[in-house]
Amino acid sequence: MSDQSLSDPGVAPAYVRILASPDAPRLPEDLRGLHYPFGRWVPGPGEVFEVAPGVHWIRFPLPLGGLDHINLWALEDDAGWVLIDTGIGVPGAGKAWDALFKGPLAGKPVSRVIVTHYHPDHIGMAGWLCKRWNVPLEIARTEYLLARSLTLDIRAEPPPEAMDFSIRAGWPDDALANLRNRGWGHFNKIVSPLPAGFKRIRDGDVLAIGGRQWTIVTGRGHSPEHSCLLSNDGLMISGDQVLPRITSNVSVYPTEPYADPLGDWLESIETLRGIDPGVLVLPAHNEPFHGLHVRLDQLAADHADKLEKLLALCATPRTAVESFSTLFRKPIADSDYGIATGEAVAHLHWLEERGKIRRLTDASGVDRFVAV
Ligand SMILES: [Zn+2]
């Protein structure tokens, strides 16, 4: 995702993007404590793969830099297929779904469409699918309302709040000019029109599908009310809440510029530690894996490491932009300023909320953070 705002994902919204820290360990996967029961094998276009009886893995391409696929899941129920997530709404996505409906998913209708969260690679084809099969969209309320509001927010220029957010973060003039020139409101370019109403799912709900009981486990921080689905026989459809090799984006956005999403994210990690460590995790990106708790530990440690380095950096006052080289392994290109700013501000706000740094705002409206 080349943009700084959830209000403006741009044309290539990699909401999940690897921006690894400079010295993050790069161990071979088999040394990192995760086990991939299907290895690196993945289903090809038009294929499905049954990871457990009645649980089918679908993989759609994504036209995003650095992230080329998303995993979707089709659960077999008596009434039809229950789809979990839908792919991004780009040309060809409908044809790809139709090929599945004529091929491996033939013989049953789609009976339910469930979406884990509002990001375009997950919700993009939901409206199209719901209309095609005349079924409601099932999603958490906050995620639905956010997606709907984004489809309606189209402007010629970024709103003043977005410019102010980027100025506060210390963006250089040329990056600010690029932001201004890029327009605003690209969400509906990659999300098919959403239904005007929805069916709510929420934390703790139990959905009976295909002889299993699936409990909704809500995560926060990557998106505001992200639904994971946990089965009573050891499967966890984790969406973007737990990914084996990608650190999910946890960002502050101009729509909620004082938010503390990293606090939400780290709390969610603690919540997820309550899940049986033996579950087979079915993530939205990369491959199914065992080792949920190992991965939760890695995610928590990665953020703790970044926070520690950031706190040390703030011995002298720093802007968000001035923290990029500490937080991220690669130099941040202009097109990645948005996502990098969101993540940097999320870490700064975590420290600020807990009284470890404080904010100094200069006459130009630029925020610098200094250790207390
Ligand atoms: Zn996401």
* 3-class secondary structure per residue, the chain: CCCCECCECCCCCCCCCCCCCCCCCCCCHHHCCCECCCCCCCCCCCCCEEEECCEEEEEEEEEECCEEEEEEEEEEECCEEEEECCCCCCCCHHHHHHHHHHCCCCCCCEEEEECCCCCHHHHCCHHHHHHHHCCCEEECHHHHHHHHHHHHCCECCCCHHHHHHHHHCCCCHHHHHHHHHCCECCHHHCCCCCCCCCEECCCCCEEEECCEEEEEEEECCCCCCEEEEEECCCEEEEECCCCCCCCCCCCCCCCCCCCCHHHHHHHHHHHHCCCCCCCEEEECCCCCEECHHHHHHHHHHHHHHHHHHHHHHCCCCECCHHHHHHHCCCCCCHHHHHHHHHHHHHHHHHHHHCCCEEEEECCCCCEEEEEC
Residue-level pLDDT at 65: 65
- Ligand 1 centroid–CA 127 distance in Å is 18
Residue-level pLDDT at 30: 52
- Ligand 1 centroid–CA 360 distance in Å is 32
- Ligand 1 centroid–CA 277 distance in Å is 23
Contact 311, 356 (CB under 8 A): yes
Residues 91-149: pLDDT tens digits? Answer: 999 999 999 999 999 999 999 999 999 999 999 999 999 999 999 999 999 999 999 99
- Ligand 1 centroid–CA 16 distance in Å is 6
User: How many angstroms separate the Cα of 258 from the Cα of each of 74, 165, 353?
Assistant: 38, 10, 10
291, part of any domain: yes
- Ligand 1 centroid–CA 67 distance in Å is 12
Our measurement of the distance from residue 340's CA atom to the centroid of its chain's CA atoms, rounded to an integer in Å, reads 14
User: How many angstroms separate the Cα of 339 from the Cα of each of 158, 335, 336?
Assistant: 16, 9, 6
C-alpha 359/C-alpha 54 separation (Å) is 53
56, part of any domain: yes
pTM recorded for the entire structure: 0.91
Ion ligand 1, residues whose Cβ is below 5 A away: 15, 119, 240
88, part of any domain: yes
C-alpha 281/C-alpha 18 separation (Å) is 20
11, part of any domain: no
Burial 94-114 (b: 16+ CB within 10 A, else e): bebbeebbeebbeeeebbbbb
Residue-level pLDDT at 154: 85
C-alpha 253/C-alpha 256 separation (Å) is 6
C-alpha 273/C-alpha 146 separation (Å) is 28
| CA atoms lying within 13 Å on the CB side of residue 164 | 10
N-term to C-term CA, the chain: 33
Q: What CATH number has the domain bearing residue 227?
A: 3.60.15.10
348, part of any domain: yes
- Ligand 1 centroid–CA 142 distance in Å is 14
- Ligand 1 centroid–CA 327 distance in Å is 20
1, part of any domain: no
190: containing domain? 29-371
- Ligand 1 centroid–CA 339 distance in Å is 13
64, part of any domain: yes
- Ligand 1 centroid–CA 100 distance in Å is 24
Structure tokens, 57: 């893995």
- Ligand 1 centroid–CA 223 distance in Å is 7
- Ligand 1 centroid–CA 13 distance in Å is 10
What's the structural domain count of the chain?
1
- Ligand 1 centroid–CA 117 distance in Å is 7
Q: What is the mean pLDDT of each run of 10 residues along the chain (372 residues)?
A: 31 35 47 82 91 96 82 97 97 95 97 97 98 98 97 90 96 94 89 97 98 98 98 97 94 95 98 96 96 96 96 98 93 89 98 98 97 97
78, part of any domain: yes
Residue-level pLDDT at 8: 32
